[in-house]
Amino acid sequence: MGDGKPGTRTRITIVGAGSVGSTIAYAAMTTGIAHEILLTDAIAAKAEAEAKDLMHGSMFVPAVDIRAGDIEDAGGSRVVIVTAGAKQKPGQSRLQLAEANVAMLRGMAPRIRTAAPDALLLVVSNPVDVLTYAALKFSGLPPERVFGSGTVLDTSRFRALLARRLNVSVANIHAYIIGEHGDSEVPLWSSAQIANIPLASCCPPNWPPFTEEDKEAIFHGVRDAAAQVIAAKGMTNWAIGLAVARILQAIFRDEQAVLTVSRLVDDYHGAGGVCVSVPTLVGAQGAGPALLVPLDAKELKSFRDSANLLRHAGRQLGL
């Protein structure tokens, strides 16, 4: 496989040409991450139309060859991204999507491994944690090569809302959301920092006090963001497209970037045997070591509860 350096060919396959899949393709094109993009969909005409529409703009982006095809055409892909599956409806939790999408992956994951045996498998479809575990089980690939987009987007939402509240550049905020990509996710307030200064002690004179009510409002803004957007426009696509593009960048450049992807954990603060989002080094080989971030007592309980919820959901689905 290529290493992302100038002159190397980088190919990705996106399984599912709906709003999320096509937006990921758009983000990959505009950022110049991939030289080749294959779009596949259960409705072949949909994939053809999206690929054609994107290809028509190729004059305005770094050189890229974008085509439509089948999963069996994915050979040579560095990364196969799964966005296919039932969509989340207004009022529906991510976990309610699980049964149909697990069944989809049962047939799809072996096809992906056969077509692209050397590829990393990146799951974006929801519920992403349960589906990442299903993809790992059904593909038979090593754990580091199967991971999900997890709470990478939730972490971005968290930092963006903190930045807006504190009037600080989002680039200077370090804070994570871990656990489920969903209702039981956990904001890590105890380790949140602004320019290396703990949030709890970072209060310049011109800042209004940062209260517990502020924390609650920000967390609700993060946790409920997808539901609010879906209720208004029927889908979320732009931010997750950018989040996946960031993960791809970390892979192709072998950055060893710390991203909260969903990955199999063995004993992370007592949680194991489940795919859940934790800060992880992401590079050319996929999901590398997880970083053991300190948790306070409340965060530790919430994280373990979140992992247990996902484990229970997997068992209900026979995983």
Residues with a known catalytic role: 181
Q: What are phi and psi of 254, to 5 degrees?
A: 50, 50
Q: 3-state DSSP call for residue 56?
A: coil
Dihedral (Cα; 266, 187, 159, 81), 10-degree rounding: 40
| DSSP 8-class letter at 4 | S
* Chain mean position to CA 82: 11
Q: Which two tokens stand for residue 179?
A: 């656990």
Residue with the two structure tokens 């969509």 = 87
Identify the H or E element spanning 39: strand 36-40
User: Could you tell me if 11 and 78 are in contact, meaning their C-beta atoms sit under 8 angstroms apart?
Assistant: yes
Long-range contacts of the stretch 287-292 (C-beta < 8 A, 24+): 287/143, 287/144, 287/145, 287/146, 287/147, 287/261, 287/263, 288/144, 288/256, 290/263, 290/265, 291/258, 292/268
Number of residues assigned to the chain? 319
